[in-house]
């Protein structure tokens, strides 16, 4: 797992107990700074590469708990974010974070245990069914080797019966979660893709077969699991490779332990394309037919997206008719073409996923 080459610590948190705990697990040089870390005189593409080796420990003054920044142009799942930090040490060519943030380093918020958990307590006290995740602006396990936050979050969620935590990752760093009493209130989720894309476009991430093996291990430990085929990418032979992944997935994971499987096609802000080409000159995934979507992102033409979704959906349904499958940020028209129904017929997409969480996680 990732270890930073350089660590910056904001002066206001240098004596914070969690800061000291994290630093005790690191052996890298530490620099105390009054403001943000100094940005080297590099191009933005080079700065991103530098930032992936750099950690900044600081205090977060915003809201830890908030709605997912979806878009009104497409159907949103009603997800809630627990914002533990931002940036990812993995280096995926398609990662939207390369064009999303204007600060390239990885940031972890050390006041998450007091301020962040207080916000969670207030949210859970409402009694509403909430689906909450930490993997929106980072990989949920990016900071684990030195922060060891997830065991605390899992224990926190195990004390209640109305909400579920989803920890989303491409890593296999889960060994420290084996003995935790989770009461199935935490879903361990993996992002999956075609094997050749994992090798060429997801630098630093383990092979897809290793991720599935990690999910199998989590299942043996009693955790519910989930999977995200996002972004689906078109390339020569994509049908065979994605079929292989789906078949391998269901050979290793019981369908009744899968909370949901999401499908999302490659989409990106226009600015990302140039950044990615500078950082990954060998990538070919942006050399296809794209159209500007209603959310300002480039997407495959609708028939191409429908073809991708239908193929994956039909293959999944060969193994299970019950597992919840949904589209991430798509229109009602695409839902109808792929599934033959829209979420509105089932009470809406958030309701679909709430019911899946109740069924698989045993929520009240």
Q: What is the mean pLDDT of residues 147-161?
A: 98
Q: What is the pLDDT of residues 12-38, one digit of tens each?
A: 999 999 999 999 999 889 999 998 888
Spell out the residues 6+ positions from residue 102 whose beta carbon is closer than 8 angstroms to its own: none
Is residue 160 a contact partner of residue 124, using CB atoms and an 8 Å limit? yes
Q: Residue 190 above 90 pLDDT?
A: yes
| Distances, alpha carbon 133 to alpha carbons 82, 88, 115, in Å | 6, 15, 17
Which CATH number is 251's domain given?
3.80.30.30
* Per-residue pLDDT band at 1 (split at 50, 70, 90): low
Share of the chain above pLDDT 70, in %: 99
* Per-residue pLDDT band at 131 (split at 50, 70, 90): very high
Q: What is the mean pLDDT of residues 130-157?
A: 97
Name which residue leads in pLDDT, 169 or 69: 169
Which pLDDT value is given to residue 271?
A: 94
Is residue 2 a contact partner of residue 89, using CB atoms and an 8 Å limit? yes
Which pLDDT value is given to residue 27?
A: 87
Which pLDDT value is given to residue 121?
A: 96
Nearest to 187 by CA among 234, 138, 221, 210: 221
**Does residue 132 sit in helix, strand or coil?**
strand
Q: Residue 72 above 80 pLDDT?
A: no
Count CA within 13 A, CB hemisphere, residue 54.
18
Q: Among 66-75, 201-210, 317-326, 340-349, name the one with the lowest average pLDDT.
A: 66-75
Average pLDDT score over the chain = 95
**How many residues appear in the chain?**
364
Nearest to 156 by CA among 191, 202, 197, 121: 121
Which pLDDT value is given to residue 333?
A: 96
pTM of the model: 0.96
Q: What is the mean pLDDT of residues 260-268?
A: 97
Name which residue leads in pLDDT, 46 or 72: 46
Q: Is residue 269 part of a domain?
A: yes
Q: Is residue 1 part of a domain?
A: no
Q: Among 67-81, 175-189, 314-328, name the one with the lowest average pLDDT.
A: 67-81
Is residue 64 a contact partner of residue 42, using CB atoms and an 8 Å limit? no
Q: Residue 226 above 90 pLDDT?
A: yes
Looking at the 3D structure of the chain, how many domains does it have? 1
Q: Residue 207 above 70 pLDDT?
A: yes
Q: What is the mean pLDDT of residues 316-322?
A: 98
Its domain, for residue 197, covers 6-361
Annotate 101-126 with b (16+ C-beta within 10 A) or e (fewer): eeebbbbbbbbbbebbbebbeebbee
Q: Is residue 136 part of a domain?
A: yes
Q: Residue 69 above 80 pLDDT?
A: no
Q: Is residue 24 part of a domain?
A: yes
Q: Name the region of 204 (left: φ>0; alpha: ψ -120 to 50; beta: rest).
A: left
């Amino acid at each position: 797992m990732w270890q930073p080459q350089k660590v910056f610590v904001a002066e206001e948190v240098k004596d914070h107990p969690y800061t000291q705990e994290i630093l005790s697990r690191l052996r890298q040089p530490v620099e105390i700074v009054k403001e943000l870390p100094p940005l080297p005189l590099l191009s933005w593409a080079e700065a991103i590469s530098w930032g992936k080796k750099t950690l900044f420990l600081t205090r977060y003054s915003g809201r830890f708990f908030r709605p997912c920044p979806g878009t009104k142009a497409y159907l949103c799942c009603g997800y809630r974010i627990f914002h533990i930090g931002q940036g990812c040490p993995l280096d995926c060519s398609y990662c939207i974070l390369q064009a999303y943030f204007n600060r390239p380093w990885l940031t972890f918020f050390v006041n998450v245990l007091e301020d962040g958990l207080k916000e969670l307590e207030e949210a859970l006290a409402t009694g509403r069914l909430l689906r909450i995740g930490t993997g929106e602006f980072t990989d949920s396990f990016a900071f684990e080797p030195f922060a060891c936050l997830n065991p605390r979050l899992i224990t926190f969620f195990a004390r209640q019966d109305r909400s579920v935590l989803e920890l989303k990752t491409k890593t296999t760093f889960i060994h420290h979660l084996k003995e935790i009493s989770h009461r199935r209130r935490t879903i361990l989720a993996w992002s999956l893709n075609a094997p050749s894309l994992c090798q060429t476009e997801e630098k630093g991430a383990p092979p897809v077969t290793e991720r599935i093996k990690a999910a199998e291990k989590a299942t043996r430990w009693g955790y519910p699991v989930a999977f995200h085929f996002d972004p689906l990418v078109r390339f020569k032979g994509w049908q065979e490779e994605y079929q292989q992944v789906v078949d391998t997935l269901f050979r290793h994971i019981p369908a009744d332990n899968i909370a949901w499987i999401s499908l999302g096609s490659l989409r990106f802000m226009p600015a990302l394309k140039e950044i990615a080409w500078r950082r990954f000159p060998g990538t070919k995934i942006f050399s296809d037919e794209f159209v500007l979507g209603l959310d300002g992102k480039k997407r495959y033409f609708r028939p191409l997206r429908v073809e991708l979704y239908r193929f994956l959906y039909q293959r999944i349904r060969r193994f299970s008719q019950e597992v919840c499958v949904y589209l991430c940020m798509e229109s009602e028209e695409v839902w109808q073409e792929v599934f033959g129904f829209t979420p509105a017929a089932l009470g809406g997409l958030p309701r679909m996923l709430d019911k899946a969480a109740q069924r698989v996680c045993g929520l009240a």
